[in-house]
Amino acid sequence: MKLVILAGGLGTRLSEETDIRPKPMVEIGGKPILWHIMNIYSYYGVNEFVVCLGYKGYLVKEYFANYFLHQSDVTIDLSNNQMKIHNTATENWKITLVDTGQDTLTGGRIKRIQKYVNDETFCLTYGDGVGNVEIDKLVAFHKKNGKLCTVTSVQPTGRFGVLNINDDERVESFFEKRQEDSGWINAGFFVCEPKIFDYIKGDSTIWERDPLEGLASDGQLMAFKHKGFWKPMDTLKDKQDLNELWSSGTAAWKLWK
């Protein structure tokens, strides 16, 4: 099974980082978040990846083209132009990097990689979110239900305290919004059948609109409820939070050794 990763957006809410690199290349613990996502899936045996590139996609290509060097110690002898590799440690990954267009929208990017997934069930996710989603159970859930698409749903933690205000504008109570009080939202981590491509018209299609709405309307969209850790990297604060979890050894998405 292959994993398709949407990695072509501008990431405007993280402009402090994305002015110089695509959002999936923003680092957590010295590694791009894209690398973290790939490791989550690799832990469950998914080692073939199709990455949908757009904004500054050449930086993703360069990273993986030189991946062997990124992961190894090297001695470079400039006098004779020779290089010796030490302590090599690379993953057993096959990565297809596809330029899906600078301005193509999410649905259009998915449509453009259709030929790379062939007529097979495939996984799909965003290039900016991590979680300890049990991919094996997600895939089993998808196959059991026999629908065209399964989306992983989560209840995000409330970011703001809730005020109970009376008619005199006096605060009668204050409490932090509980996670279970939040609605279920799209967390990515999809499993898709090839027929989902029929719901995508072209480059201007937003995956989260007509295709997903159409699949839901046709009774072809299932939700896999994930109650564990999940966090997107939308802002600089999100990036800092994820890095703190990584450095403290409490990164719940780190399933691999």
122-126/2-7 β-pairing: parallel
Distance of CA 209 to the CA centre of its chain: 18
Please give the structure tokens belonging to residue 97.
């990097």
Q: Residue 169 contacts by C-beta under 8 Å, 6 or more apart in sequence?
A: none
Confidence at residue 85, expressed as pLDDT on a 0 to 100 scale: 83
Rg (CA), the chain: 20
H or E stretch at 87: none
CA distance 128 to 141: 24
Give the burial class of 160: count Cβ atoms within 10 A of its Cβ; 0-12 exposed, 13-18 middle, 19 or more buried.
Answer: exposed
Q: Quick check: pTM over 0.85?
A: yes
Q: Is residue 70 very low, low, confident or very high in pLDDT (cuts 50, 70, 90)?
A: confident
163 forms bridges with which residues in the sheet? 174
pLDDT per residue as tens digits for the range 20-67: 889 999 999 999 999 999 999 999 999 999 999 999 999 999 999 988
pLDDT per residue as tens digits for the range 164-217: 666 775 666 666 555 555 688 999 999 999 999 999 999 999 999 999 999 999
Q: Is 191 helix (H, G, I), strand (E, B) or coil?
A: strand
Domains of the chain with bracketed CATH: 2-156+183-247 (3.90.550.10)
CA distance 7 to 11: 10
Asked if residue 155 has pLDDT above 70, the reply is yes
pLDDT per residue as tens digits for the range 104-117: 999 999 999 999 99
- DSSP labels for 143-185? HHHT-SEEEEEE-PPP-SEEEEE-TTS-EEEEEEPPGGGSPPE
- DSSP labels for 25-75? GSEETTEEHHHHHHHHHHHTT--EEEEEE-TTHHHHHHHHHTHHHHTSEEE
pLDDT per residue as tens digits for the range 2-26: 999 999 988 777 877 788 889 999 9
Task: Give rounded-to-5 percent helix, strand, coil for the chain.
Answer: 35, 25, 40
